[in-house]
Structures are given as structure tokens and as C-alpha cells.
Amino acid sequence: MPDTATPSVLFVCVHNAGRSQMAAAFLTHLAGDRVQVRSAGSAPADTVNPAVVEAMAEAGIDITAEVPKVLTVEAVQASDVVITMGCGDTCPVLPGKRYLDWELPDPAGQGVDAVRPIRDEIEQRIRGLIHEIAPASQA
């Protein structure tokens, strides 16, 4: 990871309507300004999955204003860490970036009961990521 004052993370999934939105929201909520956060999709949906919005609200995080965004090479270039979640080979791979692939179930078409365990798994992974790239002692 480049030696920058604030690490940057990009979360990518196909529709940018579920997993990547939850991950970005948790990282923003838990790390604050210690990390720059982006999310995008290789084929963005029109809106964020309503079950995802509801599940995140239950966790105290409001993502009602979020909209799916298209994945760009510029977003990858601007990020230190790129975390993919089921987007396969559609994510551009650039030298000097750290790539992680988080295998998580897709919440598309699922109700809030199915989204909760995905949300909880993402939160745990985000807590581990923060500990690794932006420990509180850096704040």
C-alpha cells in the first residue's frame, strides 16, 4: 500500500446495490476520516436494494441517500485497496494496488432476513480491515 496519510479503499460488486454499499457504509461509519471510501459496480443497478437499506438501518447506519455508481479506472487508480465482491474479471487490475476478493452471498432479490447475516459478516471483515490499514493509534 502506498505511504499516504489516509488509505483509500474501493469496494466493487456487480450492481453496487448491496454488498459494496454495506461495506462502504460500515467503513465510513467505523473508521470516519481515517480512510477514504469509495464503492462502485461493474453493472450498477438503478437503486440500492431496499432490504439492504433496511438491514443497515437496523445497524444504525442510514444509506437511503446512496446511489449505485459505475466502476471507473479512475476510481481504481485513486484507491490503495480494491475489494471485490463477486464482480469477477470485470474489475480493472492495475499494478501497485492491493486486491482482496471477499466471497459473500449476493443479497439481490433477498429479503431482510437473508441480508442480516451478510451484513454481519461484512461488518466483521470491515473491523478487521480497519485494524490492519487504519488502526486507532494513527488517528
Residues that are catalytic: 13, 87, 91
What contacts 131, CB < 8 A, 6 or more positions away?
none
Non-local CB neighbours of 135 within 8 Å, separated by 6+ positions:
none
What letter does residue 89 receive in the DSSP assignment? Answer: G
What angle, rounded to 10 degrees, do the helices at 50-58 and 112-133 form?
Answer: 60
